[in-house]
Amino acid sequence: MTIDLHTHSSVSDGTEPPAALVRAAAAAGLEVVALTDHDTTAGWDEAVVAAEEAGIGLVRGIEVSTHFRDAGVHLLVYLPDATDAGLQDELARIVAGRAGRVPAMLARLRELGIPATEEALAAASPGNQVTGRPHVADLLVRLGVVADRDEAFARYLSDGGPAYVDRYSADLLDMLARVEAARGVAVVAHPWGRGSADVLDEAAFGTLADAGLAGIEVDHLDHDAAARARLRAIAHRLDLVVTGSSDHHGAGKTGHPLGVETTAPDQLRRILDRAAAFGSPTTLAGPAGKELR
Ligand code: AMP
Ligand code: ZN
Ligand code: FE
Ligand code: FE
């Protein structure tokens, strides 16, 4: 069974609408795909319908922007109760913080002589519900200022860049408590990719596991072979689930095709069992879901 547990649609910063993403996942030969848009559950309903039609398993997820000891940490949250107020309130704060700093970033770009307006931004990212730096990057591409998102981040948007403005993110330990209350399952995304490598050592993972963390995304293109081996050993010692995924963003991030990294069925089983143990009201859609149930 081919399982990819981390993808983005155009509801956040991917380029395919949720239904198209799910169809692309089926066409790519995946049997289970998780939709994990940044900080929102808004794409779930469309993805669920498309998954039933395409006959593919769909895991409802979110990639939540958090921080731990001043480092940004992305937390994958699977199968939480989307109606849980404690979770949705915090997601709303994150989305508001993300969108709230965009005008300041556009103003900085205009000070640099780039005609970056809110109208142009809206036109460059249709369907999007969580406006962030990737959309500003797409605008810079559209304006011909840079060739692609990577160049936009490297020259203007990354932390410390000339158009960077800080924003709100959730406290990781607080978010783990909210996830547990919402009966979801939490997995740290690409822990040793950009940003968080220094703070997330084995002791930190131990602290997070005590706070309810279920797993570590080990097989991700941001991790080289040595990092994967060390992360796998840490996961084993702490009895954490090991996942692998593409972090696909459609055309928004090159080199991350659907299924380029995958999760073993027994590890997905552990996530589903844990969700069921929490009484998560919905687990998996589609025929593959029935098989795994
Ligand atoms: P934001 O949450 O608005 O600060 O935007 C952060 C998001 O931008 C991350 O979650 C990534 O999806 C994306 N991102 C960060 N760095 C890069 C990069 N160098 N190239 C392309 N996308 C990036
Ligand atoms: Zn993203
Ligand atoms: Fe991420
Ligand atoms: Fe991601």
Ligand 1 contact, 134 CB (< 6 A): yes
**Nearest ligand 1 atom to alpha carbon 132:** 3
State percent of the chain over pLDDT 90: 85
- Global confidence as pTM: 0.94
> Of all atoms in ligand 1, which is nearest to the CA of residue 253?
21
Q: Is the CB of 13 under 6 A from ligand 1?
A: yes
Ligand 1 atom with the shortest distance to the CA of 130: 3
Quick one: pLDDT at residue 283? Answer: 60
Residue 282: name the closest of 98, 70, 89, 59 by CA. Answer: 59
129 falls in which pLDDT band (50, 70, 90)?
confident
Predicted pLDDT of residue 253: 84
Nearest-CA residue for atom 13 of ligand 1: 134
CA 262 to chain centre: 15
Q: Pick the range with the lowest mean pLDDT from 22-36, 193-207, 253-267.
A: 193-207
Name the H helices within the chain: 18-27, 44-54, 85-100, 102-111, 118-124, 133-142, 149-152, 172-181, 202-210, 225-237, 265-277, 287-292
Cβ of residue 18 lying under 6 Å from some atom of ligand 1 = no
Give the residue whose CA is nearest to atom 14 of ligand 1: 134
Pocket test for ligand 1, best of 7, 131, 149 (most atoms within 8 A of CB): 149
Question: pLDDT digits over 114-128, tens only?
Answer: 999 999 998 888 778
**Percent share of the chain, pLDDT over 70:** 96
Q: Tens digit of pLDDT for each residue in 207-246? A: 999 999 999 999 999 999 999 999 999 999 999 999 999 9
Confidence check: pLDDT of 293 > 60: no
